[in-house]
Amino acid sequence: MRTDAIAAWTRRRWLKAALAAAAPAALGPGAYHVAAASREVVIKMTVKRFEFSKKVIVVKKGVPLVIEITSLDVPHGFAVPDFHARAEIVMPGKVTQVRFTPDKAGEFPFLCDIFCGDKHEELEGRLIVGA
Ligand SMILES: [Cu+2]
């Protein structure tokens, strides 16, 4: 009984060690992370009354996007209605991530959708998605 338990433990331990050794050998160190990270395009920008630091964002259709936005003053919104993507950039100084994959080519507006002052309506830009 006791010998069986020890044998089972030894097998499990061996299997765990074998898997740990085999994975990096087959894929290279960190292969999973590199593959996942390299597919995403990260765009960093700031927003303040009444402009986004990037007025035009050019990307490619089908490539996953992460737009990282930081407010320099008051709470703002960020919305790309054509892709149903939006976020509230509520805390000045904190990075907010908006993730989506543009699945159609063309030119699409993005805008602030939280009232932030008298020129709020002018706080907008264009997302250009190339085929
Ligand atoms: Cu606004």
C-alpha 104 – ligand 1 centre gap (Å) = 26
51/102 same-domain check: yes
Give residue 55 CA to ligand 1 midpoint distance, Å: 14
Pair 71, 107 in one domain:
yes
**DSSP H or E run through 50:** none
Whether 56 and 106 share a structural domain: yes
120 CA to centre of ligand 1 in angstroms = 4
Q: Give residue 106 CA to ligand 1 midpoint distance, Å.
A: 24
Looking at residue 91, its pLDDT comes to 86
* Whether residues 64 and 114 fall in one domain: yes
Residues with Cβ < 8 Å from 119, sequence gap 6 or more? 49, 50
Q: What is the pLDDT of residue 35?
A: 44
Are residues 25 and 74 located together in one domain of the fold?
no
Global confidence as pTM: 0.70
Which residue range(s) make up the domain with 8? 2-33
Residues 6 or more apart whose Cβ sits within 8 Å of residue 59: 41, 43, 65, 102, 127, 128, 129, 130
Number of domains in the chain: 2
CA of 89 to the centre of ligand 1 (A): 10
CATH of the domain at 60: 2.60.40.420
Does residue 29 share a domain with residue 45? Answer: no
Per-residue pLDDT at 2: 57
Q: 60 and 116: one domain? A: yes
50: CA distance to ligand 1 center in Å?
A: 7
Does 17 lie in the same domain as 59? no
Residues of the chain short of pLDDT 70, as ranges, are 1-38
**Predicted local distance difference test score (pLDDT) of residue 92:** 87
Same domain, 44 and 80: yes
